[in-house]
Chains A and B, each alone.
Chain A
Amino acid sequence: MAWFKRQTDKLGEVAPPEERTVKTEGIFVKCENDNCGATIYRKDLKSNLSVCPTCGHHFRLSARDRLQMLFDDGQYTERDANIAPTNPLNFVDQAPYSDRLRKSQKQTGMLDALLTGEGRLGGRPVVICAMEFGFMGGSMGSVVGEKITLAIEYCLAKRYPLIVVSCSGGARMQEGALSLMQMAKISAALARLDDAGLPYVSLLTNPTTGGVTASFAMLGDFNIAEPGALIGFAGPRVIEQTIRQKLPKGFQRSEFLLEHGMLDAVVDRRELRDFLCKLLIFTGPAQ
């Protein structure tokens, strides 16, 4: 986890180009893929699940859009909405952590970087957690750890399947080792879900790195990724600095991980709901 943070925080502090593009209030959006650059009607992009109709590039989704896209009819009930971050270390760097939290809360309308929803997928009751990259780079602190653990414990009690959609630079430095321990806490809860024979699907989206990858994102019965997502333990810049070499093209992208045996499938967002429905049917009837 030590190594991807550089990238995470830069992304967290300054909205990356794609985010700025999406937030522009124009009628048109330019495709983020440099090799494409297509001009897309904002409306068309939205109706195409934020996938470029020309080249298939997947734009990043907010946690809310993600849940709405996955649940039947976009309907779900939010769970554990009342869990808020604190500043347990009284952490201050160039700005106090409390200020960074307030700023992200204002920008996203969320208390922290994870949204939990309960609803149906293909008619079957399911819990889905989605990470919000716009909230401090989707970084995992105590709230993210607590909410995912609560979601797992709820699935255990109700015998529901769990889907977690990752989008994160990793652990949140401002909570120090408390954020590191969320990896152990969530993984221990996932051991129980596994013991109970309940399905857990991990969906990895762009980007998923660091302590998130090195815990729940890689522990799915099925690890599924969207195309072109950056997925890894260490961030590319840290690796480049360590080995002093340029990284090969496509390194740490979904297709690279699929080739190296780390993913079950790379699934286009437009086929994702169908894929997940089939997957849940395969795992057996609702229990």
Chain B
Amino acid sequence: MNTSNDVTQNAPQNLVASESFQRVQLARHERRPYALDYIQRIFTDFYEIHGDRSFKDDPAIVAGFANFQGQPVVVIAHQKGRDVKERQARNFGMPKPEGYRKAIRVMQIAEKFNRPVITLVDTPGAYPGIDAEERGQAEAIAYNLREMARLKVPIIVTITGEGGSGGALAIGVGDVVAMLENSVYSVITPEGCAAILWKDAAMAPQAAANMKMTAPDLLRLGIIDRIVPEPAGGAQDDWDTAATLLAEHLSEALRQVQQMDWAARIEARYRKFRLMGAVDITA
């Protein structure tokens, strides 16, 4: 288990809760590599392309074309800001509808030119604001879920930091879905969950543990396919190694799904998500 000093200071007493919440804090670590840090190290000739062709360009999502180990690909990712100014400009990595619409537009470009799609997920969630609601935040997310399910080209999804609910899933439907070792993925933030179910945001560590939001939890639940290792201590301490490990995973994942033809790939993608959930069939 990776820990760092600033994390253990706030550790709650319950050990399981403590471990889960430490992962949450690592996933949100202010020195954790963000999408553009990975992109710079993993891809060559990355050119960003912008806009949803309808309203605006959303800086909370970056998209572009690039080379990955000699292969042309499309990259789509949430982007958080590093300093105060950039954080505000990128809205803390919380996309608005135009961000999701840019993402699917670029995926459809990938489809047209038969290029694989690589997405990196790192968001607290989709932005909850008046303008986002007016422009159809829910519709934008829903549309991406449906269209990603039937995209013919390979989609490789990696949760690199925070997988915040529908805002993460909206670029998170793919053939291989992996999580970095210290990333998290959940239906609601631990703070939000604690505030609702315990009426006490201080119960967030407990909520984090109960919701089972770490990479090993999600692997066990059949929600992700693979865990990508991080350098000892966590990605925040060694960006280059973190990027190398991620690149190794992407390379392997791409090779695996490119062996299938598109129809088999879409069928396998469907089956994968079709099996998610836990129900009892009674007599």
Contact = CB atoms under 8 A, between A and B. Distances in A.
Interface of A: 1-3, 5-6, 8-10, 82-86, 88-89, 91-94, 111, 141-143, 145-146, 149, 171-173, 175-185, 187-192, 194-195, 210-211, 213-219, 231-234, 238-239, 242-243, 245, 247-248, 251-252, 260-262
Interface string B270-283: 10011011111111
B282 A82 contact: yes
Given A218-B139, A219-B146, A234-B126, 10 more contacts: A6-B195, A184-B276, A187-B146, A214-B126, A214-B145, A216-B142, A219-B143, A233-B133, A243-B130, A261-B136
Top 4 nearest A-B pairs (CB, nearest first) are: A234-B128, A142-B277, A188-B149, A187-B145
B146 A188 contact: yes
B278 A86 contact: yes
Contacts of A173: 187-188, 193, 196-197, 211
B185 interface: yes
Contacts of B192: 2-3, 5-6
B278 A178 contact: yes
A233 B137 contact: yes
Contacts of B196: 5-6, 8-10, 173
Interface string B251-279: 00000000000000000011001101111
B175 to A, nearest CB: 12
A248 B279 CA distance: 41
Contacts, number: 226
A219 B276 contact: no
B158 to A, nearest CB: 16
Contacts of B218: 177
Contact of B280 (A84, A180, A260): A84
Interface residues of B, number: 61
Contacts of B166: 1, 171, 180, 183, 210-211, 214-215, 233
B141 interface: yes
Contact of B276 (A143, A185, A191): A185
A114 B108 CA distance: 34
Contacts of B142: 183, 187, 213-219
A190 B132 CA distance: 24
B221 A88 contact: yes
A180 B187 contact: yes
Most interface-central of B165, B188, B273 (chain A CB within 10 A): B188
Contacts of B195: 6
Tell me the interface secondary structure of chain A in the complex. Answer: helix
B146 A5 contact: no
Contact of A82 (B211, B270, B281): B281
17 contacts: A3-B128, A9-B196, A146-B277, A171-B166, A171-B188, A173-B211, A182-B277, A184-B169, A184-B173, A184-B273, A185-B273, A219-B146, A233-B126, A233-B128, A233-B133, A233-B137, A234-B137
Given A1-B166, A187-B142, A215-B142, A242 B128 contact: yes
Contacts of B280: 83-86
Contact of A233 (B141, B173, B278): B141
B263 to A, nearest CB: 12
Given A83-B279, A188-B274, A214 B149 contact: no
B189 interface: yes
A218 to B, nearest CB: 4
A177 B125 contact: no
Given A142-B277, A233-B128, A89 B211 contact: yes
Contacts of B146: 187-188, 190-191, 194, 219
B136 to A, nearest CB: 5
A15 to B, nearest CB: 17
B140 to A, nearest CB: 8
A247 B277 CA distance: 36
Contacts of B185: 177
Interface string B182-218: 0001111100110111100000000100111100001
A82 to B, nearest CB: 5
Contact of A93 (B126, B197, B223, B269): B197
Given A177-B212, A194-B146, A243-B129, A9 B197 contact: yes
B45 interface: no
B274 A149 contact: yes
B138 interface: yes
Contacts of A247: 130
